[in-house]
Amino acid sequence: MEEVIEGAWLFQGQPIVLQRWELGMALRKLKHTQPKRNPVSVYVPRPPVEKPILAPAIPNPSVPEQAKPQSCSSMIPLAVWNVRGLNRRDHQMVVRDLVSEFHIYFIGLLETRVAAPNYSRVQSSLMTNWKWFADPTGPGNRIWLAWDESEVHVGDDPWLVLGDFNIILDLSEVCGTSGDITVAMDDFNSCLLDTGLLSIPMHGAIFTWHNCNEGPCSLWKRLDRMLANDRWLALWPNTICLSSTPRTSDHSLQVLAGYTNRRGGGMFRFDNFIARSPGFLELVDGIWRHNIHGTLMYSVTRKLKLLKPLFMALRKKKGDLVANIAQAKPFLSTVQNLLLDDRHNDLLLNLERVVRLVLMKASKMEQSMLQQRAKIQWLKGGDQCTRIFFRKRRSRSLHIAYLQPWACYVPTPEDGDFLTRPILKEEVKEAVFDIAEDKTPGPDGFSSRFYKAAWPVIGDEVTRAVQDFFVTGKLLKQINSTLLSLIPKVVSPVTVSDFRPISCCNVLYKIISKIIVQRMQGFMTKLISPSQNAFVPGRRISNNILLAQELFSGADVSSVLALRGGLRVFAEWSGLEVNLNKSHIILSKSARDFKGQLLDVLGFQEGTLPLRYLGLPLFSSRLTLADCKPLLLKVDERLKGWGKVQLSFAARLQLLQSVISALNLYWAMAFILPKGVIRAIEARMRNFLWREVPTVVWLRLQGKMFVNHVMKGVGTYGRLFSVMRFIVSNG
């Protein structure tokens, strides 16, 4: 540590003087000079074989190969804990037990409150033969670092920051009544944005601190966390933060651990670039000529299964595209440099032309592969929020004569004949070519790109199989199989309802469903009420934000009982029940005396305005800067982690246009944002966009760049404000 810590460190502009403590050192105020900046990191070796990796097996997020990620066995658990005092024997015993339980080799202890003369005694009773570092100049002798020198060595690469930060990142990280923390929260978010630090995924309790009070004074916060830069996450992608119980402290122990990726070889995925390979149609035709005994649908699925090993062999023959391109680029540069010295060498000219063509072809294949993989990862990230599953309708027999008077439209026999007319070949082909090529494939692994490229060979048989389904009504279980991708809706999911299910269906299943949708599309305006905005083309989600559906009732028990009865009748008729976890009751001031009775009768939670509804706040007054705080936090969250990534100006501009502007425009569809909010958003976008461009260049470019991109959210304040008003007025 002597070679690493030299001089004074600054934290929020205040000097922190760190020295190695020695016996007899006196505490005194030191004058600090400009500190020497040395890179600090920790190299983590492979742990002993007999010490297992913590946490159950979790699917490993994909990491680019260039990052060269280390296996989870190359990373050992680190830990940090706010112990709130280490003078007591029972606290020291708990620390020893935790180090042994979690196999920890590096730990940070905060708020130790041990006097300097007692350092040696307390440290020797904790972990013998460990290396210790303490800050004697800090108030309360707070921070201690300890590590096993036989396991932990100092390196110079990844950056990990962990501990009790005494502040939250988002209002969702506090439970209970707290003071005004918005200013400190903004400073913390700005700090992470500038440093490029990202939160390591946490498992366990989300709240890491409790004030140990009861009743209305009880307060829970997430004050302890682990942060890492992109280099750490690239080297150790299988890291998680385990939030343990607080034991003898009011803070929970935070353990950095790795999880094992136990996935096998993975499922088959058809790579779209294979469709451009020479001999692709001949390969498909060779399998499609086989005679398969069985139904038409079985014949199609069997031939698709026979094609899988052939495509896997063809993909393997292509080799590692990324590695091949990386080798071809320097080879092309070498040939071109030789041409500079010998411009009339026919051999070099032909070689340069061939290598350039091969490199261009491989680059196109790589681009196709990356686009396909990026789409799949985008789906896994949860950016698509389409709800696939609806609550299952109660199984009960409905008397049609009772419901007919309430129906706005009754289908005629002619309508039935139109819906059940024979399926045409053109309908099947239109459905196939209407499916996007970058959609995630289903369990069979074949994307719509394969069907489109091989349609001259497989089109007739696929068409007959689809037509056979509409005649017989029978569907093979292989076609009906669906992959479910569960996307977390909360930070620490516990139950199944905390996930958003996304279905990945086979292409044959999508073809059938698209044909059904096309047949019914002409009747939707007759069957669905205009108030059902989500089912009517041309409607937007913001229409439900402008006028939310509500139920009003008198503030007495009899009125609330009548309201509950109406909800029960609605559930019996429609099969749709009210979700008590998502329903709130907002009480007026005059109903405070009956609050307990009203909540017991309905079973709802008490809510206060503004409420969160469809991603936007519902309020009864004018939109204020405080109401838009979630929008500013989302902008900071998107920009976080990009600050230290080496992105070109064009890449930063594209990120602002595609991500940040979408957030702003979604709010602008429903509200006129306050001018202060627009200024704050624009300042964040401007600082991110121009952070590495000299002022002179900015003055020279702003006339061109801002005029061209003002409609995409990168313009000046006046232009951006006009765009917001235009969107709302034309909504």
Task: Give the containing element (helix H, strand E) for 155.
Answer: strand 153-155
Q: Which fold has domain 8-258?
A: Deoxyribonuclease I; Chain A (3.60.10)
pLDDT at 467: 92
From the list 661, 664, 665, 660, the residue with the least C-alpha distance to 727 is 665
CA distance linking residue 209 with residue 166, whole number of Å: 9
pLDDT at 106: 85
pLDDT at 265: 57
pLDDT at 632: 82
Q: What is the dihedral of CA 680, 686, 689, 692, to 10 degrees?
A: -120
HEC-encoded secondary structure of 537-566: CCCCCHHHHHCCCCCCCCCCHHHHHHHHHH
- In terms of C-beta distances under 8 Å and separation of at least 24 residues, what long-range contacts does 315-319 make, across chains too? 315/271, 315/274, 318/365
Q: SS3 for 330?
A: helix
- Provide the whole-model pTM: 0.49
In the chain, which residues have pLDDT < 50?
1-18, 20-21, 23, 25, 27, 29-30, 32, 34-73, 156, 376-407, 533, 694-718, 728
pLDDT at 439: 82
Q: What is the pLDDT of residues 124-157, one digit of tens each?
A: 888 877 888 776 665 555 788 888 877 766 554 6
pLDDT at 190: 78
Q: Where in the chain is the domain with CATH 3.60.10.10?
A: 8-258
pLDDT at 451: 92
pLDDT at 55: 35
Task: Give the containing element (helix H, strand E) for 267.
Answer: none
The token pair at 537 is: 């083309």
